[in-house]
Structure 1
Protein backbone atom coordinates (compact mmCIF):
# COMPACT_ATOMS: atom_id res chain seq x y z
CA UNK A 1 0.00 0.00 0.00
CA UNK A 2 1.45 3.43 -0.97
CA UNK A 3 2.07 6.03 1.70
CA UNK A 4 -1.04 8.12 2.28
CA UNK A 5 -0.43 11.78 1.34
CA UNK A 6 -0.51 14.04 4.35
CA UNK A 7 -1.46 17.67 4.92
CA UNK A 8 1.49 19.94 5.62
CA UNK A 9 -0.05 21.21 8.86
CA UNK A 10 -3.35 21.46 10.70
CA UNK A 11 -5.17 24.79 10.93
CA UNK A 12 -5.02 26.24 14.43
CA UNK A 13 -7.13 29.41 14.18
CA UNK A 14 -10.75 29.91 13.20
CA UNK A 15 -9.80 31.79 10.04
CA UNK A 16 -7.41 29.08 8.86
CA UNK A 17 -9.92 26.34 9.71
CA UNK A 18 -12.50 28.16 7.60
CA UNK A 19 -10.02 28.39 4.71
CA UNK A 20 -9.19 24.69 4.89
CA UNK A 21 -12.89 23.78 5.01
CA UNK A 22 -13.49 25.96 1.93
CA UNK A 23 -10.59 24.32 0.08
CA UNK A 24 -11.87 20.82 0.85
CA UNK A 25 -15.41 21.72 -0.18
CA UNK A 26 -14.11 23.19 -3.43
CA UNK A 27 -12.07 20.04 -4.12
CA UNK A 28 -15.12 17.89 -3.39
CA UNK A 29 -17.24 19.90 -5.81
CA UNK A 30 -14.64 19.60 -8.56
CA UNK A 31 -14.29 15.84 -8.03
CA UNK A 32 -18.08 15.47 -8.11
CA UNK A 33 -18.34 17.41 -11.35
CA UNK A 34 -15.13 16.62 -13.22
CA UNK A 35 -13.59 13.56 -11.58
CA UNK A 36 -10.03 13.11 -10.42
CA UNK A 37 -8.52 14.16 -13.77
CA UNK A 38 -10.33 17.49 -13.53
CA UNK A 39 -8.98 18.39 -10.09
CA UNK A 40 -5.97 20.68 -9.79
CA UNK A 41 -4.74 22.66 -6.83
CA UNK A 42 -5.18 25.86 -8.82
CA UNK A 43 -8.82 25.07 -9.55
CA UNK A 44 -9.48 24.19 -5.91
CA UNK A 45 -7.88 27.41 -4.68
CA UNK A 46 -9.80 29.53 -7.19
CA UNK A 47 -13.15 27.95 -6.35
CA UNK A 48 -12.45 28.24 -2.63
CA UNK A 49 -11.57 31.92 -3.00
CA UNK A 50 -8.08 31.59 -1.56
CA UNK A 51 -4.63 32.13 -3.02
CA UNK A 52 -2.68 29.14 -4.25
CA UNK A 53 -0.03 29.95 -1.64
CA UNK A 54 -2.65 29.59 1.10
CA UNK A 55 -3.65 26.18 -0.25
CA UNK A 56 -0.03 25.03 -0.34
CA UNK A 57 0.38 25.96 3.30
CA UNK A 58 -1.85 22.97 4.07
CA UNK A 59 -1.91 20.66 1.04
CA UNK A 60 1.24 19.92 -1.01
CA UNK A 61 -0.68 18.40 -3.95
CA UNK A 62 -4.08 17.18 -5.05
CA UNK A 63 -3.41 13.71 -3.67
CA UNK A 64 -3.28 15.22 -0.19
CA UNK A 65 -6.65 16.84 -0.88
CA UNK A 66 -8.15 13.45 -1.74
CA UNK A 67 -6.67 11.90 1.41
CA UNK A 68 -8.15 14.74 3.48
CA UNK A 69 -11.54 14.18 1.85
CA UNK A 70 -11.32 10.52 2.87
CA UNK A 71 -10.83 11.65 6.46
CA UNK A 72 -13.70 14.13 6.18
CA UNK A 73 -15.95 11.35 4.88
CA UNK A 74 -15.04 9.21 7.89
CA UNK A 75 -15.98 12.06 10.21
CA UNK A 76 -19.28 12.58 8.39
CA UNK A 77 -20.10 8.88 8.51
CA UNK A 78 -19.45 8.65 12.23
CA UNK A 79 -21.56 11.76 12.88
CA UNK A 80 -24.40 10.40 10.71
CA UNK A 81 -24.41 7.05 12.53
CA UNK A 82 -24.46 8.70 15.95
CA UNK A 83 -27.27 11.03 14.93
CA UNK A 84 -29.32 8.19 13.42
CA UNK A 85 -28.97 6.20 16.64
CA UNK A 86 -29.98 9.23 18.68
CA UNK A 87 -33.08 9.87 16.57
CA UNK A 88 -34.11 6.20 16.47
CA UNK A 89 -33.55 5.49 20.17
CA UNK A 90 -36.39 3.40 21.58
CA UNK A 91 -37.36 1.81 18.26
CA UNK A 92 -36.99 -1.96 17.63
CA UNK A 93 -33.51 -2.80 16.42
CA UNK A 94 -34.54 -3.56 12.80
CA UNK A 95 -36.06 -0.07 12.55
CA UNK A 96 -32.90 1.43 14.03
CA UNK A 97 -30.80 -0.48 11.53
CA UNK A 98 -32.90 0.87 8.68
CA UNK A 99 -32.33 4.41 9.97
CA UNK A 100 -28.58 3.76 10.08
CA UNK A 101 -28.57 2.49 6.50
CA UNK A 102 -30.66 5.42 5.32
CA UNK A 103 -28.32 7.95 6.91
CA UNK A 104 -25.23 6.38 5.34
CA UNK A 105 -26.85 6.06 1.93
CA UNK A 106 -27.81 9.73 1.93
CA UNK A 107 -24.16 10.67 2.38
CA UNK A 108 -23.20 8.78 -0.75
CA UNK A 109 -26.20 9.62 -2.90
CA UNK A 110 -25.70 13.33 -2.25
CA UNK A 111 -22.35 13.25 -4.07
CA UNK A 112 -21.91 9.99 -5.99
CA UNK A 113 -19.21 11.39 -8.28
CA UNK A 114 -17.07 12.34 -5.30
CA UNK A 115 -17.49 8.94 -3.68
CA UNK A 116 -16.65 7.11 -6.91
CA UNK A 117 -13.27 8.84 -6.77
CA UNK A 118 -12.80 8.14 -3.07
CA UNK A 119 -13.98 4.53 -3.07
CA UNK A 120 -13.10 3.24 -6.53
CA UNK A 121 -10.34 5.36 -8.04
CA UNK A 122 -8.23 6.22 -4.98
CA UNK A 123 -9.29 4.03 -2.04
CA UNK A 124 -5.60 3.59 -1.17
CA UNK A 125 -5.57 7.17 0.14
CA UNK A 126 -7.84 6.10 3.00
CA UNK A 127 -6.13 4.81 6.13
CA UNK A 128 -6.77 1.07 6.74
CA UNK A 129 -9.20 0.28 9.58
CA UNK A 130 -6.45 -0.96 11.89
CA UNK A 131 -4.74 2.45 11.73
CA UNK A 132 -7.80 4.67 11.50
CA UNK A 133 -9.20 6.14 14.73
CA UNK A 134 -12.42 7.10 12.95
CA UNK A 135 -13.00 3.48 11.95
CA UNK A 136 -12.27 2.40 15.51
CA UNK A 137 -14.79 4.91 16.85
CA UNK A 138 -17.40 3.73 14.35
CA UNK A 139 -16.81 0.11 15.33
CA UNK A 140 -17.19 1.01 19.02
CA UNK A 141 -20.41 2.87 18.27
CA UNK A 142 -21.93 -0.07 16.38
CA UNK A 143 -20.75 -2.58 19.00
CA UNK A 144 -22.38 -0.51 21.74
CA UNK A 145 -25.61 -0.42 19.75
CA UNK A 146 -25.56 -4.19 19.26
CA UNK A 147 -24.96 -4.77 22.96
CA UNK A 148 -27.83 -2.48 23.88
CA UNK A 149 -30.18 -4.46 21.64
CA UNK A 150 -29.10 -7.83 22.95
CA UNK A 151 -27.39 -8.67 19.66
CA UNK A 152 -23.97 -10.38 19.35
CA UNK A 153 -21.30 -7.68 19.66
CA UNK A 154 -18.83 -10.00 17.92
CA UNK A 155 -20.70 -9.41 14.66
CA UNK A 156 -19.89 -5.68 14.60
CA UNK A 157 -16.77 -5.92 12.36
CA UNK A 158 -18.46 -8.08 9.75
CA UNK A 159 -21.67 -6.03 9.91
CA UNK A 160 -19.66 -2.91 9.09
CA UNK A 161 -17.79 -4.67 6.28
CA UNK A 162 -21.08 -5.88 4.79
CA UNK A 163 -22.68 -2.45 5.08
CA UNK A 164 -19.66 -0.80 3.48
CA UNK A 165 -19.63 -3.23 0.54
CA UNK A 166 -23.38 -3.09 -0.05
CA UNK A 167 -23.67 0.69 0.16
CA UNK A 168 -20.68 1.36 -2.07
CA UNK A 169 -21.61 -1.41 -4.47
CA UNK A 170 -25.21 -0.32 -4.93
CA UNK A 171 -25.23 3.44 -4.40
CA UNK A 172 -22.54 4.54 -6.83
CA UNK A 173 -23.98 3.22 -10.10
CA UNK A 174 -26.66 4.88 -12.17
CA UNK A 175 -29.47 6.81 -10.51
CA UNK A 176 -30.61 4.51 -7.69
CA UNK A 177 -33.85 4.90 -5.74
CA UNK A 178 -32.91 5.79 -2.15
CA UNK A 179 -35.94 4.16 -0.54
CA UNK A 180 -35.48 0.91 -2.48
CA UNK A 181 -31.76 0.77 -1.73
CA UNK A 182 -32.42 1.39 1.95
CA UNK A 183 -34.87 -1.52 2.08
CA UNK A 184 -32.48 -3.78 0.17
CA UNK A 185 -29.39 -3.09 2.30
CA UNK A 186 -31.31 -3.05 5.59
CA UNK A 187 -32.98 -6.37 4.75
CA UNK A 188 -29.62 -8.03 4.04
CA UNK A 189 -28.07 -6.74 7.27
CA UNK A 190 -31.15 -7.61 9.32
CA UNK A 191 -31.07 -11.17 7.99
CA UNK A 192 -27.41 -11.46 8.99
CA UNK A 193 -28.03 -10.20 12.52
CA UNK A 194 -31.04 -12.51 12.91
CA UNK A 195 -28.98 -15.64 12.20
CA UNK A 196 -28.62 -17.92 15.23
CA UNK A 197 -25.52 -17.09 17.23
CA UNK A 198 -23.07 -19.99 17.47
CA UNK A 199 -19.94 -18.40 18.86
CA UNK A 200 -17.08 -16.17 17.65
CA UNK A 201 -16.90 -15.42 13.96
CA UNK A 202 -13.80 -15.08 11.83
CA UNK A 203 -12.47 -11.54 11.95
CA UNK A 204 -12.64 -9.71 8.62
Structure 2
Protein backbone atom coordinates (compact mmCIF):
# COMPACT_ATOMS: atom_id res chain seq x y z
CA UNK A 1 0.00 0.00 0.00
CA UNK A 2 1.42 3.47 -0.87
CA UNK A 3 2.75 5.46 2.12
CA UNK A 4 0.28 8.31 1.56
CA UNK A 5 -2.74 6.02 1.44
CA UNK A 6 -4.81 5.85 4.65
CA UNK A 7 -7.15 3.09 5.71
CA UNK A 8 -10.54 3.97 7.14
CA UNK A 9 -9.29 2.90 10.58
CA UNK A 10 -6.18 5.13 10.46
CA UNK A 11 -6.88 8.84 11.10
CA UNK A 12 -4.83 11.41 9.25
CA UNK A 13 -2.40 13.71 11.03
CA UNK A 14 -4.87 16.56 10.60
CA UNK A 15 -7.68 14.54 12.18
CA UNK A 16 -5.47 13.62 15.13
CA UNK A 17 -4.45 17.28 15.52
CA UNK A 18 -8.11 18.36 15.53
CA UNK A 19 -9.07 15.69 18.03
CA UNK A 20 -6.65 16.86 20.71
CA UNK A 21 -8.29 20.30 21.30
CA UNK A 22 -11.70 18.62 21.43
CA UNK A 23 -10.47 16.22 24.12
CA UNK A 24 -8.92 19.09 26.07
CA UNK A 25 -12.16 21.05 25.81
CA UNK A 26 -14.20 18.08 27.02
CA UNK A 27 -11.83 17.58 29.97
CA UNK A 28 -12.05 21.27 30.77
CA UNK A 29 -15.86 21.20 30.72
CA UNK A 30 -15.89 18.17 33.03
CA UNK A 31 -13.49 19.91 35.40
CA UNK A 32 -15.62 23.07 35.48
CA UNK A 33 -18.73 20.99 36.20
CA UNK A 34 -16.82 19.20 38.99
CA UNK A 35 -15.74 22.53 40.52
CA UNK A 36 -19.23 24.04 40.33
CA UNK A 37 -20.74 20.96 41.97
CA UNK A 38 -18.17 21.21 44.75
CA UNK A 39 -18.86 24.92 45.14
CA UNK A 40 -22.58 24.24 45.51
CA UNK A 41 -21.87 21.86 48.39
CA UNK A 42 -19.48 24.27 50.12
CA UNK A 43 -21.81 27.26 49.72
CA UNK A 44 -24.68 25.23 51.21
CA UNK A 45 -22.58 24.27 54.24
CA UNK A 46 -20.74 27.53 54.85
CA UNK A 47 -22.63 30.27 53.01
CA UNK A 48 -20.95 32.48 50.45
CA UNK A 49 -18.86 34.49 52.92
CA UNK A 50 -17.75 31.44 54.89
CA UNK A 51 -16.69 29.53 51.78
CA UNK A 52 -13.15 29.65 50.40
CA UNK A 53 -11.49 28.59 47.19
CA UNK A 54 -9.33 26.16 49.19
CA UNK A 55 -12.45 24.50 50.61
CA UNK A 56 -13.98 24.25 47.15
CA UNK A 57 -10.78 22.74 45.76
CA UNK A 58 -10.71 20.18 48.60
CA UNK A 59 -14.36 19.30 47.99
CA UNK A 60 -13.61 18.78 44.30
CA UNK A 61 -10.50 16.73 45.08
CA UNK A 62 -8.16 19.03 43.16
CA UNK A 63 -5.37 21.42 44.06
CA UNK A 64 -6.02 25.17 44.46
CA UNK A 65 -3.76 25.67 41.44
CA UNK A 66 -6.05 23.53 39.31
CA UNK A 67 -9.06 25.55 40.47
CA UNK A 68 -7.36 28.82 39.52
CA UNK A 69 -6.83 27.51 36.00
CA UNK A 70 -10.59 27.84 35.54
CA UNK A 71 -11.73 30.50 38.02
CA UNK A 72 -9.69 33.49 39.24
CA UNK A 73 -11.54 33.86 42.57
CA UNK A 74 -14.53 32.81 44.65
CA UNK A 75 -16.86 35.40 43.11
CA UNK A 76 -16.17 34.05 39.63
CA UNK A 77 -17.09 30.57 40.88
CA UNK A 78 -20.32 31.90 42.42
CA UNK A 79 -21.23 33.72 39.22
CA UNK A 80 -20.53 30.59 37.16
CA UNK A 81 -22.70 28.51 39.50
CA UNK A 82 -25.50 31.08 39.50
CA UNK A 83 -25.49 31.17 35.67
CA UNK A 84 -25.85 27.39 35.62
CA UNK A 85 -28.61 27.40 38.24
CA UNK A 86 -30.50 30.25 36.59
CA UNK A 87 -30.50 28.35 33.32
CA UNK A 88 -32.03 25.36 35.07
CA UNK A 89 -34.43 27.65 36.94
CA UNK A 90 -35.63 29.16 33.65
CA UNK A 91 -36.46 25.67 32.43
CA UNK A 92 -38.40 24.87 35.62
CA UNK A 93 -40.25 28.19 35.63
CA UNK A 94 -41.06 27.74 31.94
CA UNK A 95 -42.52 24.32 32.66
CA UNK A 96 -44.45 25.59 35.67
CA UNK A 97 -45.91 28.68 34.00
CA UNK A 98 -46.67 27.02 30.68
CA UNK A 99 -49.80 28.37 28.93
CA UNK A 100 -51.59 25.03 29.18
CA UNK A 101 -51.62 25.33 32.99
CA UNK A 102 -53.58 28.59 33.01
CA UNK A 103 -56.99 27.09 32.32
CA UNK A 104 -56.74 24.26 34.84
CA UNK A 105 -58.96 24.17 37.93
CA UNK A 106 -57.24 26.10 40.71
CA UNK A 107 -56.09 23.10 42.76
CA UNK A 108 -54.60 21.41 39.69
CA UNK A 109 -53.10 24.67 38.50
CA UNK A 110 -51.32 25.12 41.84
CA UNK A 111 -49.94 21.57 41.61
CA UNK A 112 -48.74 22.18 38.05
CA UNK A 113 -47.09 25.49 38.96
CA UNK A 114 -45.73 24.89 42.45
CA UNK A 115 -44.49 21.29 42.20
CA UNK A 116 -41.71 21.90 39.61
CA UNK A 117 -40.61 25.14 41.29
CA UNK A 118 -40.41 23.50 44.70
CA UNK A 119 -38.67 20.44 43.25
CA UNK A 120 -36.04 22.64 41.63
CA UNK A 121 -35.24 24.39 44.91
CA UNK A 122 -35.12 21.13 46.85
CA UNK A 123 -32.77 19.59 44.28
CA UNK A 124 -30.60 22.73 44.12
CA UNK A 125 -30.29 24.17 47.65
CA UNK A 126 -27.36 26.33 46.56
CA UNK A 127 -29.86 28.37 44.52
CA UNK A 128 -31.40 29.84 47.68
CA UNK A 129 -27.96 30.46 49.21
CA UNK A 130 -26.79 32.47 46.21
CA UNK A 131 -30.08 34.08 45.19
CA UNK A 132 -31.36 35.13 48.59
CA UNK A 133 -28.31 35.20 50.87
CA UNK A 134 -27.33 38.43 52.66
CA UNK A 135 -23.82 38.30 51.20
CA UNK A 136 -24.67 37.64 47.56
CA UNK A 137 -22.14 39.17 45.11
CA UNK A 138 -23.39 42.23 43.26
CA UNK A 139 -23.18 40.60 39.83
CA UNK A 140 -25.65 37.96 40.97
CA UNK A 141 -28.01 40.50 42.58
CA UNK A 142 -28.57 42.05 39.16
CA UNK A 143 -29.50 38.65 37.75
CA UNK A 144 -31.89 38.07 40.66
CA UNK A 145 -33.69 41.31 39.83
CA UNK A 146 -34.13 40.18 36.24
CA UNK A 147 -35.44 36.79 37.34
CA UNK A 148 -37.93 38.39 39.73
CA UNK A 149 -39.23 40.80 37.10
CA UNK A 150 -39.60 38.00 34.55
CA UNK A 151 -41.45 35.78 37.01
CA UNK A 152 -43.71 38.61 38.17
CA UNK A 153 -44.59 39.52 34.59
CA UNK A 154 -45.46 35.91 33.80
CA UNK A 155 -47.70 35.60 36.86
CA UNK A 156 -49.44 38.85 35.88
CA UNK A 157 -50.03 37.45 32.39
CA UNK A 158 -51.61 34.33 33.86
CA UNK A 159 -53.90 36.40 36.08
CA UNK A 160 -54.84 38.62 33.14
CA UNK A 161 -55.80 35.52 31.14
CA UNK A 162 -58.10 34.34 33.94
CA UNK A 163 -59.36 37.83 34.83
CA UNK A 164 -59.09 40.07 31.77
CA UNK A 165 -61.16 42.84 33.37
CA UNK A 166 -59.02 43.19 36.51
CA UNK A 167 -57.36 46.63 36.64
CA UNK A 168 -53.61 46.52 36.03
CA UNK A 169 -52.68 47.88 39.47
CA UNK A 170 -54.76 45.19 41.21
CA UNK A 171 -53.28 42.55 38.92
CA UNK A 172 -49.75 43.64 39.83
CA UNK A 173 -50.59 43.67 43.52
CA UNK A 174 -52.14 40.20 43.33
CA UNK A 175 -49.14 38.81 41.42
CA UNK A 176 -46.72 40.36 43.93
CA UNK A 177 -48.63 38.93 46.88
CA UNK A 178 -48.81 35.47 45.31
CA UNK A 179 -45.09 35.54 44.55
CA UNK A 180 -44.16 36.60 48.09
CA UNK A 181 -46.48 33.99 49.61
CA UNK A 182 -44.63 31.39 47.56
CA UNK A 183 -41.21 32.65 48.67
CA UNK A 184 -42.25 32.71 52.34
CA UNK A 185 -43.64 29.18 52.13
CA UNK A 186 -40.57 27.99 50.27
CA UNK A 187 -38.34 29.17 53.13
CA UNK A 188 -40.25 26.90 55.51
CA UNK A 189 -40.24 24.02 53.04
CA UNK A 190 -36.48 24.24 52.57
CA UNK A 191 -35.85 24.25 56.32
CA UNK A 192 -37.56 20.87 56.82
CA UNK A 193 -37.16 17.38 55.41
CA UNK A 194 -39.20 14.27 54.80
CA UNK A 195 -42.81 14.14 55.94
CA UNK A 196 -42.57 17.55 57.62
CA UNK A 197 -41.43 19.11 54.35
CA UNK A 198 -44.36 17.47 52.56
CA UNK A 199 -46.69 18.90 55.20
CA UNK A 200 -45.39 22.42 54.57
CA UNK A 201 -45.82 21.96 50.82
CA UNK A 202 -49.46 21.09 51.48
CA UNK A 203 -49.80 24.11 53.80
CA UNK A 204 -48.38 26.42 51.13
CA UNK A 205 -50.85 25.13 48.56
CA UNK A 206 -53.70 25.63 51.04
CA UNK A 207 -52.65 29.23 51.71
CA UNK A 208 -52.27 29.98 48.01
CA UNK A 209 -55.62 28.37 47.25
CA UNK A 210 -57.44 30.36 49.92
CA UNK A 211 -55.88 33.59 48.70
CA UNK A 212 -56.49 33.03 44.99
CA UNK A 213 -59.84 31.22 44.98
CA UNK A 214 -62.00 34.31 45.68
CA UNK A 215 -60.14 36.19 42.95
CA UNK A 216 -59.81 33.63 40.18
CA UNK A 217 -63.00 31.66 40.71
CA UNK A 218 -65.27 34.04 42.57
CA UNK A 219 -64.31 37.17 40.66
CA UNK A 220 -64.00 39.35 43.76
CA UNK A 221 -61.80 42.44 43.51
CA UNK A 222 -58.29 42.17 44.94
CA UNK A 223 -58.96 45.05 47.32
CA UNK A 224 -61.92 43.30 48.99
Contact 1:163 1:185 in 2 (8 A): yes
Contact 1:23 1:44 in 2 (8 A): yes
1:71 and 1:161 mapped to 2: Cα distance? 23
Q: TM-score, normalising length from structure 1?
A: 0.66
1:84: Cα distance to partner?
2.5
2:161 is aligned to 148
2:109 is aligned to 96
1:182 and 1:17 mapped to 2: Cα distance? 36
Q: TM-score, normalising length from structure 2?
A: 0.61
Write the deviation string for residues 30-78 of structure 1: whole angstroms up to 9, x where unpaired: 334x423774323434554766456436544324434544454444333
- The structure with the largest alpha-carbon Rg is 2
2:30 and 2:160 mapped to 1: Cα distance? 38
Quick check: 64-73 or 184-193, which moved more? 64-73
1:61 is aligned to 73
Greater relative contact order (Cα 8 A, min sep 6): structure 1 or 2?
1
Write the deviation string for residues 120-173 of structure 1: whole angstroms up to 9, x where unpaired: 5535654168x73222222222222222333753222232122112211x1232
Contact 1:108 1:171 in 2 (8 A): no
2:191 is aligned to 173
Number of residue-to-residue matches in the alignment = 183
2:108 and 2:84 mapped to 1: Cα distance? 27
2:21 is aligned to none
Q: Which has the higher helix share?
A: 2
Counterparts of 1:5-24 in structure 2, within 5 Å, are 19-24=31-36
Q: Which consecutive unaligned segments of at least 5 residues does structure 1 have?
A: 1-12, 200-204
1:43 and 1:70 mapped to 2: Cα distance? 18
Q: Which consecutive unaligned segments of at least 5 residues does structure 2 have?
A: 1-24
Query: Would you say 1:127 and 2:136 are equivalent positions?
Result: no
